[in-house]
Homo-oligomer: A and B are copies of this chain.
Amino acid sequence: MTASTTGDDATTGRPVVPNLEAILGREYPVLDHGFIRVVDYMGDDAAVVQAARVSYGAGTRRVREDRGLIRYLMRHRHTTPFEMCSIKFHVKLPIFVARQWIRHRTASVNEYSARYSVLDREFYLPAPEDLAVQSKSNAQGREESVLPDVADEIRRLLEQDARQAYSRYEWLLNEQPDGSPADPDRPGLARELARINLPLSTYTQWYWKVNLHNLLHFLQLRADPHAQTEIRVYAEAMLGIVRRWVPVVAEAFEDYRLGAAELSGPMQAVVRAWLAGEPVDREASGLGIREWRELHALVGRELPDT
């Protein structure tokens, strides 16, 4: 291992992004006990351009053109050049968030194992303003926060349960920090079993390595207002990091992906008629009621009375 060096003094012939170097290894706090930090990265805005240009075989290399090329790639979903950059994060996150996160299969993961090791006594306890009411209109959403005194009561109960579950975990493990049993008259339960009593709010951690294309796909889904708040805050922290790392890609992503809306063929026909000043009937347009509403909201047009 002596052949490698790590530290601020090392020089490299690889692309270097000073704005990202500046925060390498720094923990960004997320939620009450979580964090995210950049461990390593590969490539920059120019690496995307370089990969795209190999498909053209040549081309001049001015800054303005590079920006235009990246925006063109993003707009037309030419995705492979974005795979040429990768980033590795160290993340600490509650288990229920990890369960959503891991559904993204195109990444590499090494997670802290509760079969080998003892988990820390750390649980996610939502802040009062994050304790929100079940949405009536959206089965998977939340609405306004509960009243402060209800929030206090919920937090008190969640904390109590989590503490008790952890105490039980310790009792089952029966293992002191030095490995010796706390109670010598009783065997320690296997770690892989003792943990099954812990709640989904327990924190875990992992290394997560992903290429830029797959990261942007993750951010599009998880930085979206429909994502659960507790994963969205991680996505937003990562989006901030992406802005430091590949600012031109990040800008194109926010313009063409995050804020974009898709117009189906029938929706396009309706917009065309409106612009031509022609009346449009919903049923004749072929749009469902839900789409009809989405389209009005999108173009800032009031829904007609019904």
Give A contacts to B, CB under 8 Å.
1-19, 21, 24-25, 40-47, 49-52, 54-58, 63, 66-68, 71-72, 75, 80-81, 83-84, 86, 88, 94-96, 98-99, 102-103, 105-106, 108-113, 115-118, 124, 126, 130-135, 139-143, 146, 150, 154, 157-158, 161-162, 164-165, 168, 172-173, 175, 186-193, 195-202, 205-207, 209, 211, 228, 247-248, 255-256, 258-266, 268, 271-272, 274-276, 288, 290-291, 298-301
A228 touches B115 (CB 8 A): yes
A165 touches B161 (CB 8 A): yes
B112 touches A6 (CB 8 A): no
Kindly identify which residue among B24, B58, B105, B142 contacts A117, using a CB–CB cutoff of 8 Å.
Answer: B58
Looking across the interface, which residue of chain B has its beta carbon closest to that of A263?
B261
Task: Give the docked Cα–Cα distance between A300 and B271 (Å).
Answer: 9
Q: Which residues of B contact A190 (CB under 8 A)?
A: 132-135, 141-143
A11 touches B14 (CB 8 A): no
CB distance from A206 to the nearest CB of B (A): 7
B12 touches A14 (CB 8 A): yes
Chain multiplicity (copies)? 4
Task: Give the docked Cα–Cα distance between A121 and B57 (Å).
Answer: 14
Q: Which residues of B contact A142 (CB under 8 A)?
A: 190, 192-193
Kindly identify which residue among B88, B115, B140 contacts A115, using a CB–CB cutoff of 8 Å.
Answer: B140
Q: Which residues of B contact A108 (CB under 8 A)?
A: 80, 83-84, 211
Sample of 21 A–B contacts (CB below 8 Å): A1-B63, A8-B13, A12-B14, A12-B21, A13-B25, A15-B40, A40-B42, A50-B207, A57-B117, A80-B108, A80-B110, A84-B209, A96-B195, A99-B102, A113-B140, A115-B228, A134-B191, A158-B196, A258-B265, A262-B262, A271-B271
Kindly identify which residue among B83, B117, B118 contacts A209, using a CB–CB cutoff of 8 Å.
Answer: B83
A188 touches B133 (CB 8 A): yes
Kindly identify which residue among B5, B54, B158 contacts A18, using a CB–CB cutoff of 8 Å.
Answer: B5
A-B residue pairs, 10 tightest by C-beta: A259-B265, A57-B117, A83-B108, A142-B190, A42-B42, A10-B16, A105-B105, A4-B44, A51-B110, A115-B140
Task: Give the docked Cα–Cα distance between A301 and B301 (Å).
Answer: 19
With A4-B45, A142-B190 already in contact, 10 other A-B pairs whose C-beta atoms are closer than 8 Å: A12-B21, A40-B42, A50-B207, A102-B102, A143-B190, A150-B187, A161-B164, A195-B200, A196-B199, A196-B201
Task: Give the docked Cα–Cα distance between A143 and B190 (Å).
Answer: 8
Looking across the interface, which residue of chain B has its beta carbon closest to that of A45?
B1
Kindly identify which residue among B13, B118, B192, B261 contacts A24, using a CB–CB cutoff of 8 Å.
Answer: B13
Task: Give the docked Cα–Cα distance between A196 and B13 (Å).
Answer: 38
Looking across the interface, which residue of chain B has its beta carbon closest to that of A13?
B24
Kindly identify which residue among B21, B54, B264 contacts A75, using a CB–CB cutoff of 8 Å.
Answer: B264
Q: Given contacts A133-B187, A198-B199, are A1 and B67 in contact (CB under 8 A)?
A: yes
